[in-house]
């Protein structure tokens, strides 16, 4: 039975890209209808969009949980399925504030999917991040070879033909083998930070607020995410390549369902330490954003209602100053 379930989850992954475009199309129509004052029709189309969004996340469960072996992303994908359907249910029942969240998802996709689906943009971003990661690695005293991923014999991997793979040579003393072992760390689109940046860009662009405060919110989020992501890449690449975090190998390999001893350092560095710190960093960045753009709190309050079923007043809890009723700046100093 379990094998059949896993096979079904794996089969569903092939539909993730088409589903993503359908979701964006549905939310685009929703936003257009809402813009033109067709609120009721926009609500119905938005419900369909959220239903598709739930199916989209279902199609990614296998990828995150069993291909990427990411505990945080795997759980997130599983939770997102019923959450998306519940958002649609709430929207159907008149919680029209969720139309702003629908618009935010649309704008997130507008930022993210060009880099995901257009090869020239994906290559430009991936290789730029690779060069900057290489520079920072050199500052730490590590100088691995950087190779074209498609020219390397990487088992079970179909890499893009980009200069994006760091090659470390390590003796792996814990294996008892005398020959050196090649360890590769490849920068993929997921390693560029574009996913997190698109989330904040979508949230900021979706709310109704003066463009000056939106620009300030972008300034305290996107550059910070980009720089932190570079340090994340250096940390993972060096600790994995040099095997600095080869700890509790039996436990780590059991948890992540792997038998590859060299990947222990990778699982600890990326899946445990880096992803956990990323959650903390994103919470901190969110706080900086809402200080500049309190309107974003309305979206976050809606998300908390979806998760908990309770209403929250985050502006009061965080002591965030109120904005003018017309959405303008609070004082002349905001100009």
* Spatial distance between the Cα atoms of 209 and 292, rounded to a whole number of angstroms: 11
Q: Among candidates 300, 304, 275, which has minimal Cα distance to 290?
A: 300
- Which residues, in sequence order, are bridge partners of residue 186? 165
> Hunting for tokens 């949980």 — which residue is that?
65
Give residues with Cβ within 8 angstroms of 53, minimum separation 6. Answer: 23, 84, 87, 105
Whether the Cβ atoms of residue 258 and residue 267 lie closer than 8 Å to each other = yes
Residue 191 catalytic?
A: yes
Nearest to 193 by CA among 220, 216, 221: 221
CA 147/CA 108 separation, integer angstroms: 31
Closest of 273, 268, 292, 283 to residue 220, by C-alpha: 292
Check if 216 is active-site. Answer: no
Query: What is the C-alpha to C-alpha distance for residues 60 and 40, in angstroms, rounded to an integer?
Result: 31
Catalytic choice (43, 103, 122, 232): 232
Instruction: Sort residue 255 into left (φ over 0), alpha (ψ -120 to 50) or beta.
Output: alpha
DSSP structural state of residue 36: T
Angle between helix 16-35 and helix 39-62 axes, rounded to 10 deg: 160
Q: Catalytic pick from 43, 103, 122, 191?
A: 191
Active site residues: 191, 232
């Amino acid at each position: 039975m379990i094998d059949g379930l896993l096979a079904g989850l794996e089969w569903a992954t092939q539909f993730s890209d088409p589903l993503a475009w359908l979701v964006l199309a549905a939310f685009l129509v929703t936003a257009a209808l809402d813009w033109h004052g067709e609120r009721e029709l926009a609500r119905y189309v938005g419900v369909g969009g959220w239903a598709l969004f739930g199916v989209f996340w279902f199609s990614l469960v296998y990828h995150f949980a069993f291909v990427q072996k990411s505990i945080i992303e795997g759980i997130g994908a599983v939770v997102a399925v019923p959450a998306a359907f519940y958002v649609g249910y709430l929207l159907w029942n008149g919680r029209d504030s969720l139309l702003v969240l629908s618009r935010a998802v649309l704008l997130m996709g507008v930022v993210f999917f060009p880099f995901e689906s257009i090869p020239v943009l994906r290559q430009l971003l991936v290789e730029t991040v690779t060069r900057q990661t290489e520079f920072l690695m050199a500052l730490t005293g590590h100088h691995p070879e950087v190779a074209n991923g498609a020219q390397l014999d990487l088992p079970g991997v179909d890499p893009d033909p980009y200069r994006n793979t760091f090659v470390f040579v390590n003796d792996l003393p814990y294996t008892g083998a005398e020959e050196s072992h090649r360890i590769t760390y490849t920068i993929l689109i997921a390693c560029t930070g574009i996913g997190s940046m698109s989330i904040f860009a979508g949230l900021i662009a979706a709310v109704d607020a003066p463009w000056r405060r939106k620009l300030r919110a972008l300034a305290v989020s996107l550059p910070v995410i980009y720089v932190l992501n570079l340090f994340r890449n250096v940390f993972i690449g060096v600790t994995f390549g040099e095997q600095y975090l080869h700890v509790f190998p039996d436990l780590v390999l059991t948890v992540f369902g792997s038998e590859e001893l060299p990947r222990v350092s990778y699982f600890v560095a990326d899946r445990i330490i880096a992803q956990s710190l990323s959650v903390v960093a994103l919470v901190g960045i969110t706080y900086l954003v809402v200080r500049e753009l309190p309107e974003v709190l309305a979206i976050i309050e809606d998300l908390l209602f979806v998760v908990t079923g309770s209403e929250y007043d985050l502006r009061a809890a965080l002591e965030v100053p109120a904005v003018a009723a017309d959405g303008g700046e609070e004082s002349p100093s905001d100009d």
